[in-house]
Structure 1
């Protein structure tokens, strides 16, 4: 059996979408990959003796697989991300319990009903929990100054349970807090979003550059 080098043809590459063609070339998938000759005779051979399992009787091939994935954000998340691109924080509001859900959901799990009312939120809220991280975008480099990573509970997104009077919260948003020294941050600190400039926002959670204390951050 022989393994003959082969390549993607220029014709094949020309038929691919531009982003696929760039990916193939960027990952060097246009270079040699294995192509087996004589595979039919190897498949038809009946092996009865282990001595016959020699390299020349085996089928061997190799290649790099280009896998492309597409993730659908869904109806609620898509509208939420579109709002971020426009500099707005959008949530959904349950008509029964009056709870505002951010990030938005289309079903209230407290009232067991569909939700179709959308509201714009100021983005102000309080820190429910936080952590000081010395790891940035490069996990191999320790930061001299830590990043404050916090979960933000937005105003009017919590309600008391009618049965137990327990305060229940509608999730929250994990983000960066800046504009305050690490030793001064605290649970319950009031914060607001700081947006990226018009033209820089792309419909991403990073359209909010960070959250910063409101009026000194006193809750």
Structure 2
């Protein structure tokens, strides 16, 4: 059964005493007041309320464990070892980096693993003058690039369609902003073995590979 209640600006005095005491005990009176502020800008707000209302205050600890899956797990383990793994599709011949177990172009399962030397070309790039602190402009920009690895791109002569494997975003260093260009060849610079954690950041950066 429900009953109609009209709450005005002094709504805290209108709610049942037990509920008011609960709000005060848990320190929720001001929090609930904020929730009501917009609604109470008018002279009154009409609501429907159940006859018996129970309020509970919970502190819930949520812990999550994500699994990267078969392909990405091997990719991350390889990074920790200073090795770059990909999968090769037997249909289009592309190497997929990061690796996948399914080719979205050929619609077939991929099970052949290959180790890549990390050589790539710059597909596109941007100069980032904002670092970890958005309020500070960097004197020298970070060069953030999308990289296409060797053998990850295929062009079909009949239709001029370019099949690529999405690429990987990373930082380019050891060259100035004016030296980077689309199509430039780069290679990875690995962190020391004791600093690797199984992350894409185990590659410190990419640098020009020379022509």
* TM-score of the superposed pair, with normalisation by structure 2: 0.74
Cα drift, residue 96 of structure 1: 2.1
SS at match of 1:167: strand
The one of 39, 50, 63 aligned to 2:5: 50
Over the aligned positions, Cα root-mean-square deviation in angstroms equals: 2.1
Q: Deviations over 1:77-129 (max 9, x none)?
A: 11100000000110000112211110101011121110101000010010000
Report the CA distance shift for 1:185/1:120 in structure 2 as closer, same or farther (over 3 A): same
Consecutive unaligned residues of structure 1, counting only runs of 5 or more, are 1-45
Q: Which moved more, 1:60-69 or 1:85-94?
A: 60-69
Consecutive unaligned residues of structure 2, counting only runs of 5 or more, are 7-12, 24-55
Aligned equivalent of 1:75: 70
- Which residue is equivalent to 1:89? 84
Q: TM-score, normalised by structure 1?
A: 0.72
CA distance in 2, matches of 1:179, 1:145: 12
Q: Are 1:112 and 2:73 counterparts? A: no
Aligned to 1:172: 167
**Residue in 1 that maps onto 2:42:** none
Matches within 5 A, 1:1-219: 48=3, 50=5, 53-54=14-15, 56-58=17-19, 60=23, 62=57, 64-161=59-156, 163-215=158-210, 218=211
- Report the Cα distance in structure 1 between the residues aligned to 2:75 and 2:120, rounded to whole angstroms: 17
Deviation at 1:134, TM superposition (A): 0.9
